[in-house]
Structure 1
Amino acid sequence: MDAARNSEPVLQLKASLHPFTVLKLESLELSAIAWDLEHRLAKAPQLLKNAPVVIELPSQPISLEWSEQLIRLLKDLGFIPVGLRCDQEHHSVAEHLNLPLFNESAKTNKPQAKQAQPAKLVKQAVRSGQQVINPNGDLVIFGNVGQGAEVLASGSIHIYGTLYGRALAGINGDQTASISCQKLASELLAIAGQYQVSDDLASEHWHKACHVQLKDERLIIESV
C-alpha cells in the first residue's frame, strides 16, 4: 500500500450543513480507500469509531457490484453508511443499496411543512447483519433488533422488543425524531446525526424500557 500512501488523496472526511459526516470519494480504488480510512482510524479511533457517514460519489461510472463492495468495506471498518450524495446518473446506485439521497440541492430549497407519511411496519425480528430503512417516515419494529442489525428512519423509530443493534432516527436531519424500545441494549443510538455508542450509555438505562430524544444537540435517554 506504499503507492496509496504517496498518491493523490483518494477521499475526504468533511463536515457539511447536514448533521452527518460526509465521506467524499476522489477515487474508485477500493484498496486505496481502505488504506486511507485505516490510517485515519488509527489516528482518531474514538472520533471515527461507529461514525454514521453520507457517501459522496465521484462523477465517474460506477457499477452496482463496486457499490456493494464499498458498503461492505465501510461496514468492516466500523463506519455506518446512512445515505448517498451523487449525481442523478448514480441515483440507481442509491436505489440498489436502499440508501436515501442527501444532495446539496435539497438543502437550498425553502423549508416546507411536514406531510404525514405512513409508518413502515416490520412484523418480525431484525436479525444480525440486516438493515431496515424508511427514508420517508417512522419505522415500527415488532420484535428484537439483533446485534449487528441496523434500523434507520427519517422519522421516529419504535421497537416493541429489545434493541441490541443500531437505531438511527431523523436521518434526514429531523431533530424532533425519537427512539423508543422495550429494552435498551444497543450498540448505537443516533438522532439527526448526534449519536452515542454502547460504552457511553448510562448503566441505569441498560435493559430498561427507554425513550430517546434530542435536546440541545445531545441525546437524552429516559427510562419509562
Structure 2
Amino acid sequence: MPASAATPRLEPFRLRGANFNLLVLRLLDPRTEVIVPAIADQFRRAPGFLRFAPLVIGLDDLQAAPQDIDFAGLAAELRRIEITPIGTIGGTPELRAAAQGAGLPPLRAAGGKDEDVPLAPPPPAPPAPAAAEAPAAPPLPPGSTRPTMVIDHAVRAGQRIWAQGADLIINGTVNPGAEVIADGNLHVYGNLRGRAIAGGADNTEARVFALNFDPELVSIAGYYAVREGLADAPIGKAVQVRLIGENMRFDRLG
C-alpha cells in the first residue's frame, strides 16, 4: 500500500533548480577539445567542488549547427574527468534533439518559470483524403502490448542503457555512475544508485519503480531531483516515483 494512503502528508517539496547543488555549464564554444581542457583546469583548482558534480549543459549561447557538436564525445570526456552531465537546458529544438540522441535529455526545473523553449512537436501527419475520415489515434491491434527492454544484469558505472520508445526493466543493481533511461516506465529490481530517467519522450505518465531507492538523480519527462533534494523520499526502501502535476511524488511500495 502506498505510504500516502496510510498517512496523509503535505506536499514533500517543490523542485527548483536553484535549490540544489546542480551546476549549469553554458557552452560558449562548440568544440569538445576546447571545452574539456578548460573545465579540467578549473577541476584542478577546485577538485572538491567539481568532482562527480551533476552538470546541466546550457545551449542558449551556441550558434553552431547540431551536426557540428559532438554531444556524445563531450559527455564521455566530462565523465572521464569525473564530472557527470545529466541533460541540457535551452537552445534550439535541433540542438536539444541532437543532445537527446546522445543521451542528454532536455530538462526543466519543476515549479519554476518556463524559461526554456520546449521541444518542437513532430510535424503533423498529412491530411487524409476527403472521402475517408481516419480516427486521430487508431486503436492498437488486439493482443498488442507496449514494447519492453529487459536487462538481466547489473549496470556498471559509466554504462548507459536507453530503452527508446519502450519500458525498461533492470534485473539487478544500477551502480553509482550508471545511467538508465526509458521513454516509458523504468523498473529496477535491485539497488538503484545511479541516474534513473523515465518518460524520456515527454511522457508525464511514466513512472520509476525501484526495490532499493537511493539514486544520484531521478527524472520523469524532464522534471528532475538530485540526491541532495531527496531528503523526504524513502531512501533505501521500495519506492514508486511519479508526477502529480509538476511535482515529483515518492510513495513506498509494499
Map of 1:150 onto structure 2: 179
Are residue 175 (structure 1) and residue 204 (structure 2) matched? yes
**CA distance 1:27–1:94, change in 2 (3 Å):** same
Contact 1:180/1:212 (CA < 8 Å) preserved in 2? yes
Secondary structure, counterpart of 2:208 in structure 1 = strand
Name the count of aligned residue pairs: 190
What does 1:1-224 align with in structure 2 at a 5 Å threshold? 27-34=29-36, 35=38, 50-51=54-55, 58-59=64-65, 62=68, 67-75=71-79, 76-81=82-87, 86=94, 97=102, 107-110=121-124, 113=137, 117-202=146-231, 205-224=234-253
Secondary structure, counterpart of 1:161 in structure 2 = strand
Q: Please, which runs of 5 or more residues in structure 1 have no aligned partner? A: 1-21
Secondary structure, counterpart of 2:172 in structure 1 = coil
Q: Please, which runs of 5 or more residues in structure 2 have no aligned partner? A: 1-23, 107-117, 126-135
TM-score if structure 2 supplies the norm length? 0.59
Q: Residues 76-96 of structure 1: CA distance to partner in whole angstroms, max 9, x if unpaired? A: 433214799648xx97x987x
Contact 2:197/2:218 (CA < 8 Å) preserved in 1? yes
Q: CA RMSD in A?
A: 4.2
Structure 1 runs, 4 residues or longer, greater than 6 Å off: 36-39, 54-57, 98-101
| Counterpart-to-counterpart distance in 2, 1:209 and 1:61 | 42
Secondary structure, counterpart of 2:35 in structure 1 = helix
Radius of gyration: which is bigger? 2
Which one-letter code corresponds to 1:28 in the other structure? P
TM-score if structure 1 supplies the norm length? 0.65
- Larger helix fraction of residues: 1
Contact 2:85/2:104 (CA < 8 Å) preserved in 1? no
Report 1 or 2 for greater relative contact order, CA contacts < 8 Å, sequence distance ≥ 6. Answer: 2
